[in-house]
């Protein structure tokens, strides 16, 4: 995991061009300011916004990246499946994402198809990648809400 007090410093830490990285962050912040993600359409539907931050009024799927410290993680895309990530992000029972030493990363949660299934990085066939989603969505909402001081 990488951490920096400035976006340009984080860019150097992860070996990307600082100007391009700062431009990307500026675009994301502009999307949050206008409530419209013109690049990927995040939050364009009521369904999408159901999974967003209920404290964000304009578009619950878009937030600002403007408060330090800033973080980046390295994701090894070695377990890609045709229908999802197949366990790139590992979590514990409360949906917190784990680092490489199996320690919880404070404030980072994963749900839905992002974390692995109870069966690890295996694809079990149709619907197998969805096993445990109800539990992950509940835990992610419950524990994520607790992390930002909301009631689940």
Q: Is the pTM of this model over 0.95?
A: no
Quick one: what percent of the chain has pLDDT higher than 90? 38
Indicate if 38 and 67 belong to the same structural domain: yes
With contact defined as beta carbons under 8 Å apart, do 143 and 95 qualify?
yes
Instruction: Give the domain range for residue 130.
Output: 74-152
Q: Please indicate, yes or no, whether residues 85 and 65 belong to a single structural domain of this protein.
A: no
Domain count, the chain: 2
Within this chain, do residues 65 and 22 fall inside the same structural domain, yes or no? Answer: yes
Note the pLDDT of residue 89: 74
* Whether 116 and 143 share a structural domain: yes
Q: How confident is the model at residue 76 (pLDDT cuts 50, 70, 90)?
A: low
Report the alpha-carbon distance of residue 152 to residue 140 in Å, rounded: 10
Q: What is the mean pLDDT of the chain?
A: 77
Whats the size of the chain, residue-wise? 152
Burial class (CB in 10 A: 0-12, 13-18, 19+), 140: buried
pLDDT at 28 over 90: yes
């Amino acid at each position: 995991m990488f951490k920096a007090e400035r976006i340009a410093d984080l860019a150097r830490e992860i070996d990307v061009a600082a100007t391009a990285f700062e431009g990307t962050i500026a675009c994301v912040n502009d999307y949050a300011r206008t409530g419209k993600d013109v690049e990927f359409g995040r939050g364009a539907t009521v369904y999408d916004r159901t999974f967003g931050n209920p404290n964000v009024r304009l578009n619950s799927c878009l937030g600002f990246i403007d408060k330090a410290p800033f973080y980046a993680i390295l994701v090894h895309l070695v377990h890609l499946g045709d229908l999802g990530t197949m366990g790139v992000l590992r979590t514990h029972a409360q949906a917190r994402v784990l680092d490489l030493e199996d320690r919880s990363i404070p404030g980072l949660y994963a749900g839905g198809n992002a974390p692995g299934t109870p069966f690890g990085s295996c694809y079990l066939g149709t619907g197998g990648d969805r096993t445990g989603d109800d539990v992950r969505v509940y835990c992610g909402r419950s524990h994520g809400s607790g992390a930002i001081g909301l009631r689940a």
